[in-house]
Amino acid sequence: MSLATTQLAKARPPATLMQTGAFRRLPPLPPTATCRRSHTQRQTGPQALSPHQVFAPLTRERPVFRIREPVRVLREPCDFYVELLTGIERARRRIVLSSLYIGSEETELVDCIRRAVERTPGMEVVVLLDCLRGTRVDSSRRSSASLLAPLAAHGVRVALYHTPALSGLNKSAWPQRYNETFGLQHIKAYVFDDDVVISGANLSRDYFTNRQDRYMVLRDAQLADYFGGLVGAVSQFSFRLDKNAGVYLDKGIADPSRYPEDFVRDANAVVAEFLERAQAQHSVDPGDVSESDTLAIPTVQMRQLGITQDEAHMGEFFALSNAFARRHACRSMMASAYFNFSPEYKAQVLSSAGRWDLLVASPQANGFYAARGISKYIPDMYSIIELEFLRNARKQYARQDIAIEEYTRPGWTYHGKGVWCYLDQRLPQMTMIGSPNYGYRSIYRDLEAQLTLIPGNAELQTAIHQEALYLLSHSKMVSESELSARTYDAPMWLYALKPFIYKKM
């Protein structure tokens, strides 16, 4: 029985979470209800501006897409896997997969791609992975590259991006796994003809079974062209995989490990040209936007290549939501696989006038839990960082309306990230979904892409809201005292590693 068949047989989550206890967690309760969190309640009153007006500045100098078809919000890893297989099987014009890596055991997924290529000769198939992670071998001496090499013989373009930050002596000095801390291809986007699956999930067994992430499916030909074009642009200056699992560069491409400055100059030109063209072709006039329009705004971050679009986008979002919160009761949630938010983003949350919930993995749901070597201490390090942040929020900023939630689900790990913004504190008027974890790496080291979605109808707002509730239904709010007890026996040398964890993980 295939993995897809097995996962489809599993019980689905409840159709709605509005009937469960999770409903009390994100939206505000009526004044007569008892809430387990204390927070400052602002006057709500009538809104002077609509969500589309509030977030209109986010549509400037960026490509914007009006989404006409219903957006599907997936919840479980098994749903994500089935969506991938279904998309590959149905595709007739293009299959584009961008991920950090593909698990070396994912033969069913690769066989599905091979059959699609054989069924439809001439179909465009592009797979973009990270070169360092994609060529790292497991205990059986297998890798993403060795798994995908047979596809190269079928005309599939397998591109492997290599960071220019790992060059010269560093290239030979750092071993596999640790060399990946210099920078990675981290974009997670999956295109099948006109369907786009946006996620933070990679393509390996745990991400298809018990590693929780976020997943959205959008049908729009122009948005699919955008992500196909983005992956194609990065592929232009990436290594290519041959049928023998070897890698090579197309003629005229500078080797990032030997000529990093030339590589950065050329790669920047390719991406900048792509983004300028996308903005020119898909700009919108805020005055022409209807409240019933669902808007999708893709942004990318590639600081090592001189591209800082998403960084600017996030800064504008914080400014807009904060300005709104000064006049109304605004609430937001930001999720990440790790409590390693950048200093800039933590400062924005702490100084915000709105209420914030930060959702991260618990130590047991952290991907490094029970790891070997020094990696096994990483969850403890995140607990230390959580405690310092919460103490700072309570004492220096006197913030009782900032909460940390930890995803805790037996047998599961957590990898979801994104933002939900509740301007009316009932349903989200904006969400962000994609690959960034909102840490130092996301801003300064890795290639990232995310999608900002401004829903144009209550049905989509409700689906996005229920997604948040579903994640929170498996989470637990942690207190200062609990974190203090958890980190009481942490070795002192662990504190010395914080600068490394901040910048590398």
* Helix (H) or strand (E) run with residue 403 in it: strand 402-407
CA angle 465, 437, 36 (to 5 degrees): 45
Q: Are 402 and 393 in contact (CB under 8 A)?
A: yes
Amino acid in the structure at residue 450:
Q
Residue 103 DSSP SS3: coil
Active-site option among 193, 293, 357, 380: 193
Bridge-based pairing of strands 355-361 and 331-335 is parallel
Does 310 qualify as catalytic in the annotation?
Answer: no
Q: Are 468 and 426 in contact (CB under 8 A)?
A: no
Half-sphere exposure of 92 (CA within 13 A, CB side): 1
DSSP assignment letter at 134:
H
> Which of 213, 189, 187, 201 shows the shortest CA–CA distance to 416?
213
Does 225 qualify as catalytic in the annotation?
Answer: no
DSSP assignment letter at 337:
S
Alpha carbon 315 to chain centroid, angstroms:
17
Residue 353 DSSP SS3: coil
Largest CA distance in the chain: 70
Say how far apart CA 124 and CA 128 lie, in whole Å: 13
Residue 1 DSSP SS3: coil
Q: Are 282 and 226 in contact (CB under 8 A)?
A: yes
Q: Across-strand partners of 414?
A: 212
DSSP assignment letter at 418:
E
DSSP assignment letter at 164:
T
Cα-flanking dihedrals φ and ψ of residue 147, to 5°? -70, -40
Residue 128 DSSP SS3: strand
Say how far apart CA 421 and CA 411 lie, in whole Å: 30
Q: Across-strand partners of 219?
A: 195
Say how far apart CA 444 and CA 343 lie, in whole Å: 12
Active-site option among 162, 188, 415, 474: 188
Active-site option among 162, 186, 282, 415: 186
Does 193 qualify as catalytic in the annotation?
Answer: yes
Active site residues: 186, 188, 193
